[in-house]
Amino acid sequence: MNITAERAYPTPLANSPLLPMLLLSLATQRNAPKQSSTFKKQYDYIVVGGGSAGSVVASRLSEEPCVSVLLLEAGATKPPLLNDVPALSRFFWFTDIDWQYKTVPQKHAAYFLENQQVIWPSGKGLGGSSLLNAMLYVRGNKKDYDDWEAQGAKGWSYKDVLPYFLKLENNTNSDYLNNGYHATGGPITAENPKYQSEIRRPLYETAQELGYRILDSNAARQTGFNDLQGNIRNGQRCSTAKAYLVPAENRTNLDIIKGAHVKKILFDGSRAVGVQFDYRNTEYNVRARQEVIMSAGTVNTAQILMLSGIGPKEHLKKLKIPVIANLPVGNNLQDHCCCPLPFTFDSKTIDEKLQDPQNINAYVNNRTGPLSSVEFISVIAFLNGKGVSPREDFPDYQLYFIEINKQIAKYQTGLKPLLYDLAISPYENDPLFACLSSILHPKSRGTVRLQSTNPYDPPLIDPNYYDDPADVEAVVKGLKTCLKIGSSKSMKKVGAKRFFETFLPKLSDLIPDLLRDEYLRVLAKSFVLTLNHQVGTAKMGDPKDPTTVVDPELRVKGIQGLRVVDASVMPIIPSGNTNIPTIMVAEKASDIIKDSMPCRTNASKD
């Protein structure tokens, strides 16, 4: 336990005298596996990327003793123990466990942000983005997966993927287990956070007054206010590294190497035969007898494929990269963007709550209190602009009610300093929460492209937010619901006030509905943030469809020995947070790959 290293991360707990005690309590759960000291020149399977998908694939494939597996992860840093505290997620942005990406300047959005660029955090290290995310346990909507199959991803309908959602899950809530949509015994623990923010009860009261249901959105119906769960194990973050790799670390057929920056895939004709990577200032080539499996994530998988000669022909030719396969890699990029509507309320600030010795003790002893919150998110809701309880259970926007602090507002939104000073700085030391309104079914599609042939140059990420003008309407619907809920009688009991209500009292009463909608449209387009749900750059579907990169078995078209297993294969973004769907994809893919293993096939014949 390195207290100096833990204090180097910019958390409010860095200087707490109770930090050593907290760290000792966290150390009872291992958050990263042992690294292999050496690696061989050849393996049956090479998995590139040890994130939310790659950790799963490497663990599942190495369950078969007849194969050897190498897992390569670019992130070199072992996650700090403090990363396990659910409330501290956002304090690890811009650190060595974050790729620290930004988008290119947006054409149709982000007018309030510096250079019209959106900050895109992305997990770097074993566990990937499951190290940085808010741990929300969300599967999406049944229709999402039926739509995947309808557009050509055969075998990926809801009835096909539900067994894999169940396989990955270890749910601790007996009520949820009784509804028939949950399971125990899986690697990912799902728990209800043991923190009750001051805004939680009035939010649920308001929801019920407005006619919304409070429900388990991962069960029979999604639309409503979700009684949220997180991928949390006994009050600590349950990353895929913790869930899948730690139990597998002693397998002799699995080598785990971190700090290995993969530069390209190696080919013999149209067959992938290995990878080239840098490790400790030396370049290595390692061969794959069976398959190379790309699990580097929506951005990095697209980058490595293109660096290797798999991508849009014209783009690769411009960079003088020899074309191995002309495929639409990097197209079809989708993300859930959102717009925040901030409020002040009667409470303590996040920092005060986190630094309070009583709260630290509550977490150390019982895993309760503010430190146990999932990034201080109190409530999420999946709602539809067609009404409170529409006949079709297919919500079009998602709301998050989240406590925030000055650091988040000032440094993590990318807001222009002048706008911050005008709009937010008068309240920066007040207790704050925001209602985030997010689109669930964006029609806009973006791209990932190479900036250069240097594998260390970040790629050009263009989510192309609001390229389709219809996308902004779902966010506006959500913002209107935020206003309605935030100004309710129940929320007034906790002193909830919109910023402009305190800044320019009664302004909202003077704005006609027509102008209010237009004001919210401008706000939604100008103040845009990512929810880090990027998918789609290696689209799965019918091999005959020219927009697809991989077939339903996740094999790269026209290439032997190469698959993609991560969020980049999702043809359509799920209705909600994407981490659990990514783990599901990896679980299903692992079974598909196992079924094709020559040693297993031969054993079954015997």
What helix, strand, coil percent values describe the chain, rounded to 5?
35, 20, 45
Distances from the Cα of 146 to the Cαs of 238, 282, 415, in angstroms?
A: 29, 46, 38
Taking the C-alpha atoms of residue 300 and residue 458, their distance in angstroms, rounded to an integer, is 9
Find out whether 580 and 231 touch, Cβ atoms under 8 Å.
yes
Find out whether 442 and 334 touch, Cβ atoms under 8 Å.
yes
Q: How far apart are the first and last CA of the chain?
A: 50
Find out whether 481 and 487 touch, Cβ atoms under 8 Å.
no
What torsion, rounded to 10 degrees, do the Cα atoms 194, 198, 203, 204 define?
Answer: 50
Q: Which of 182, 336, 441, 533 is catalytic?
A: 533
φ, ψ dihedrals at 213, nearest 5°: -85, 150
Distances from the Cα of 494 to the Cαs of 59, 164, 226, 548, in angstroms?
A: 47, 41, 21, 50
What is the residue-wise DSSP string for 157-183? SHHHHHHHHHHTEEE--HHHHHTTS--
Q: Does residue 533 have an active-site annotation?
A: yes
Taking the C-alpha atoms of residue 569 and residue 536, their distance in angstroms, rounded to an integer, is 5
Nearest Cα to Cα of residue 413 among 351, 339, 352, 472: 339
Taking the C-alpha atoms of residue 484 and residue 499, their distance in angstroms, rounded to an integer, is 15
Residue at 414: amino acid letter: G
φ, ψ dihedrals at 214, nearest 5°: -110, 120
Radius of gyration of the chain (CA): 23
Taking the C-alpha atoms of residue 25 and residue 22, their distance in angstroms, rounded to an integer, is 5
Which residues 6+ apart lie within 8 Å of 265 measured at CB?
Answer: 272, 274, 275, 276, 292, 294, 304, 305, 308, 310, 562
Q: Which two tokens stand for residue 518?
A: 């237009």
Q: Which two tokens stand for residue 168?
A: 């990955």
Burial class of residue 323 (count of CB atoms within 10 Å of its CB; 0-12, 13-18, 19+): middle
- At residue 412, the 3 state secondary structure works out as helix
Taking the C-alpha atoms of residue 163 and residue 183, their distance in angstroms, rounded to an integer, is 10
Which residues 6+ apart lie within 8 Å of 86 measured at CB?
Answer: 135, 193, 230, 232, 235, 236, 237, 371, 372, 373, 374, 375
Find out whether 169 and 583 touch, Cβ atoms under 8 Å.
no
Q: Which two tokens stand for residue 560?
A: 């032997």
Taking the C-alpha atoms of residue 258 and residue 227, their distance in angstroms, rounded to an integer, is 37
In this structure, what DSSP letter does residue 423 have? I
- Other CB atoms within a 10 A radius of the CB of residue 295 amount to 32
Find out whether 428 and 406 touch, Cβ atoms under 8 Å.
yes
Q: Which two tokens stand for residue 2?
A: 């390195």
- Other CB atoms within a 10 A radius of the CB of residue 246 amount to 20
Catalytic residues: 533
